[in-house]
């Protein structure tokens, strides 16, 4: 019987932008989850009155990456600094970031280009610390195995 094991600690996320001297590297500390979501439904079925099916292959690799982090984490501070620098940058730099996320345990990953932040995440102030979720939009997401 074979066994597989998954560990989030074996995941790494790298966010790079041409205007930044060094990329942001997230290796799990303060990060609760990373979710890569495609926006397009890639197949559509149209069913005629006689039951015949016309299959349509739809183009589109855009989507979003949601990064859930602790509100006091270095990851949140880095994302906030990244957002604030982009707000001040010329418009042609807005969607120039690239994001790569990989998990060495299951050999999966995503390369995302044309990255731009959707907005500063909502933040709740309450008696105990919480999480915030950064949503980054991607013009192109490629899934891979390595």
d(CA 14, CA 5): 23
Model confidence over 94-110: pLDDT tens digits?
Answer: 999 999 999 888 889 99
Judge contact between 82 and 13, C-beta under 8 A. no
pLDDT digits (tens, 9 = 90+) for 6-27: 778 888 999 999 988 889 998 8
Go through the chain and tell me how many residues it has.
Answer: 146
pTM, whole model, 2 decimals? Answer: 0.88
CATH of 8-145, one of 2.30.110, 3.30.530, 1.10.260, 3.30.460: 2.30.110
How many CA atoms, within 13 angstroms, populate the side-chain half-sphere of residue 119?
3
For position 67, what pLDDT does the model report? 95
How far is residue 123's CA from residue 120's CA, in Å, rounded to a whole number?
9
Domain range list for the chain: 8-145
Residues 6 or more apart from 119 whose CB is under 8 A from it? 135
């Amino acid at each position: 019987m074979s066994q597989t094991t998954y560990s989030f600690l074996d995941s790494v996320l790298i966010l790079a932008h041409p205007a930044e001297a060094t990329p942001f590297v997230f290796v799990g500390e303060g990060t609760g989850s990373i979710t890569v979501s495609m926006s397009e439904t890639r197949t559509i079925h149209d069913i005629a009155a006689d039951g015949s099916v016309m299959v349509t292959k739809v183009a589109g690799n855009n989507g979003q990456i949601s990064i859930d982090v602790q509100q006091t984490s270095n990851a949140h501070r880095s994302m906030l600094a990244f957002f604030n620098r982009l707000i001040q940058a010329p418009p042609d730099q807005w969607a120039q970031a690239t994001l790569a996320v990989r998990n060495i345990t299951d050999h999966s990953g995503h390369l995302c280009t044309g990255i731009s932040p959707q907005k500063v995440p909502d933040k709740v102030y309450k008696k105990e610390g919480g999480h915030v979720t950064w949503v980054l939009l991607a013009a192109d997401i490629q899934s891979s195995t390595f």
